[in-house]
Amino acid sequence: MSRGTPRSWRAAALLVAAFLFVPAVPAAAEPPPPPAGAGEDPGGSGPTGAGQELDRLARDVAAARHTAEAAEQQYTAAAGELAQRRKESADAARQADQQRGRLTEAETEAARLVAEQYRNGGLGSLARLFLADRPEDFLDRQQRAASDSRSAAAVLRDLREARNRMVLLSERAGQAEQSASAAADRAQRALEQARQGAARTEQVLAAATAEQLGRLDQWESALADGAARQLAAAANAAGPGGGASAAGRRAVDFALAQRGKPYLWGGTGPDAFDCSGLTSQAWRAAGVPIPRTSQQQWAGLHHIALRDLRPGDLVIYHGDAGHVALYLGGGAVVHAPHTGTVVKLAPVTMLPILGAVRPDPDAPPEPAPPAAGPAAAVPPQ
């Protein structure tokens, strides 16, 4: 695919540089505009109608992709919850069945004791003593009867406890089944929303011309290449993992090794990833399991100020936490962008930022590794 004119390429590079050399990350950065120079009047009079159309297309595509990805993340979370609820329901049902068997055994034993007492009734103890052929045998039976009486009390107590536990476990099994049913409904709704978002994205892309799609691809490539150059420059000074914790550096190494692998909804590797699949697997490889989706990562991990970002931290995007990337340092992140792309680098300000989280807030940063030398530590894609 064409990389565009030198004029548009230089403009895009300047745009990337403007993003990357800001002293602090804004708390709610606006998404970058579409490819600079696209559709401009050669005479310098400003954007033409074609440029305005491309601007609208870029924003429509970004909005549609955001809607789809946020719904995909919600479905992934709902599907995970459904699997957990089904497991809990199955476990509760199995425990209820086991307790039902114990209750049956207790009822059988209680019935045996009642029948035995009935059979041993009749004459009083003194009369049976006088009529016994061997009084000593009668006294032995009386001792056994006293022992049986104590056993009967224990059986009745077990029966009572078994019945109470049976009621409790049956209620728990019913509640677990209801929870699983509700989780299934949520997962189905999230799936439908994700499909609608994907369909909307396809509609927007189908309405674009080949030239417009090429410009959008050029824009994304410019962002990735600019971020890679900025990260390489930072790596030459402090190393790509400078300031990271030991686990954070391992997460960075894992995420960088996945560059070029395709985006896949629900993907957790090893061959394809979605945005949170990449970040969760990077930290799992670092020995720190974290929640699966971007919304769960935002809700469950330690929040940090953007000015305190260090390599390995997660940057969360959009007000609904619909996207996540792993911070590399040098104003760059690595992420799995959307369907049709691959894992790549981008400037941290590529999308509106919601905030940042740190999976290992208690781990101290380690000394920066030796400088990478004149060669770029992280070559452009």
Q: Residue 54's closest CA among 266, 216, 273?
A: 216
- Judge contact between 129 and 142, C-beta under 8 A: no
Task: Evaluate the omega torsion of the peptide bond into residue 270 and state whether it is cis, within 30 degrees of 0.
Answer: yes
Per annotation, catalytic residue among 66, 318, 335, 338: 335
Q: Residue 73's closest CA among 280, 251, 269, 216?
A: 280
Q: Tokens standing for 324?
A: 């996540």
275 classed as catalytic: yes
Per annotation, catalytic residue among 66, 318, 323, 338: 323
The angle that helices 6-20 and 210-238 make with each other, rounded to 10 degrees, is 50
| The 314-317 sheet, strands edge to edge | 302-304, 353-358, 314-317, 323-329, 332-335, 344-347
Bridge partners for 262 per DSSP: 342
Cα within 13 Å of Cα(223), Cβ side: 26
H/E element holding 44?
none
Q: Tokens standing for 336?
A: 């799995």
Per annotation, catalytic residue among 66, 275, 318, 338: 275
| Residues 67, 294: Cα–Cα separation, whole Å | 14
Q: Tokens standing for 30?
A: 């606006």
Q: Residue 297's closest CA among 284, 307, 310?
A: 284
Annotated catalytic sites, by residue?
A: 275, 323, 335
